Amino acid sequence: MLNTVNPPTKPQNYKTSVEIDWCPGCGDFGILNALVLALQELKIPNENVVLTGGIGCSSKIPHYVNVNTMHTLHGRSLAQAQAVKIANPRLEVISASGDGDGLGIGAAHIVAAGRRNVDLTYMLFDNGVYGLTKGQASPTLPYGEMPKSLETENLKFPVNPLFLGLASGFTFVARSYSYNIKHLKETLIRAIKHRGLAMVDIMQPCVTYNNINTKEFYDPRLYDIEKEGWNPAAASENDYKQKVPQAVLKALEWGDRIPMGVFLDYQTETYDQKLQRLVPDYGKKNYVMEPIETSGKPVNDVTELMDSFC
């Protein structure tokens, strides 16, 4: 839910004063800047935003954004983010994760998250390597590649995050680029505004360990699919079923031309709406603010439950 009361006025208000420890020239800086600009433009009060991170270089971003943050465990950013949103649907929830964090150790949560469709934004920092542990191959590193940090060539096929997101049921699937801050900011704004689970796969060079997927690699290859006529919107379930296979075909493109932009934007029932079918009052009251006791006495009374066993 976007709340526009008392918006902060300057972009800096969304940045903390914590000293940033990313390598100079790291793609993470562009992503941080784009996120801060997106929050500024959306004017969401800082206290209503929760940003979670996993473990890794990218997952340190919570410390640099001046909102509520949860720096979780390796692979668990998305799992925790969903619970935050379920616990308090009034919050704007963003989950940050690296490609190793999200697609390696935490991949099960992507599949499960797609099945729920919790209304949050999942930012995937995608650079092909595990930076914080000195550059081992991550699940998105292309087959056969051997960036300078690897001891051997990579024998595993890469995971395509967009394909995985589409297959799992993400209702908004996009790709952007850390050196195209304007596109990234706009894409993040669209993802945050989207009602449902949004994935933004962010192409991002690792200047220290990945000497293959560099700025020079990406700049000439990335093209905007929406500028070439792709319409990501699916207006109905039928439309969605037809759109997904086409979006998958687009997502699988890789080589001289690498697609970016929004691949799918499908508005359907979100998890909080679905939960209301089981718990009719869910979302009507704010669980967090609703007292569970009055002067220490429980608000709930289980007498009726006890009687059901007598």
Q: Say which residue the tokens 């340190």 belong to.
A: 60
Between 227 and 277, CB nearer to other proteins: 277
User: CB of residue 173 vs other proteins: minimum separation in angstroms?
Assistant: 20
Between 48 and 211, CB nearer to other proteins: 48
User: CB of residue 1 vs other proteins: minimum separation in angstroms?
Assistant: 11
Between 128 and 196, CB nearer to other proteins: 196
User: CB of residue 94 vs other proteins: minimum separation in angstroms?
Assistant: 12
User: CB of residue 163 vs other proteins: minimum separation in angstroms?
Assistant: 19
Between 152 and 295, CB nearer to other proteins: 295
b/e code 30-39 from CB counts within 10 Å (16+ = b): bbbbbbbbbb
Q: Say which residue the tokens 């208000």 belong to.
A: 13
Q: State the residues that interact with other proteins by CB under 8 A.
A: 16, 18-19, 21, 45-50, 52, 60, 62-63, 66-73, 75-76, 79-84, 86-88, 90-91, 108-109, 111-112, 275, 278-282, 285-289, 292-293, 296-303, 305-306, 309-310
Q: Token pair for residue 248?
A: 């998958």
The helix-helix angle for 161-168 and 237-251 (nearest 10°) equals 160
Q: Say which residue the tokens 């099960």 belong to.
A: 108
The helix-helix angle for 77-87 and 271-278 (nearest 10°) equals 50
Q: Residue 156: helix, strand or coil by DSSP?
A: coil
Between 16 and 273, CB nearer to other proteins: 16
For 230, half-sphere exposure in the C-beta direction (CA atoms, 13 angstrom radius) is 23
User: CB of residue 109 vs other proteins: minimum separation in angstroms?
Assistant: 6
Query: How many C-beta atoms surround the C-beta of residue 289 within 10 A?
Result: 8
Q: Say which residue the tokens 């800082």 belong to.
A: 46
Between 50 and 159, CB nearer to other proteins: 50
Q: CA 128, CA 210: separation in Å to the nearest integer?
A: 7
User: CB of residue 243 vs other proteins: minimum separation in angstroms?
Assistant: 26
For 291, half-sphere exposure in the C-beta direction (CA atoms, 13 angstrom radius) is 7
Between 24 and 296, CB nearer to other proteins: 296
Which of 72, 124, 63 shows the shortest CA–CA distance to 99? 124
User: CB of residue 190 vs other proteins: minimum separation in angstroms?
Assistant: 23
b/e code 148-183 from CB counts within 10 Å (16+ = b): ebbeeebeeebbbbbbbbbebbbbbbbbbbbbbbeb
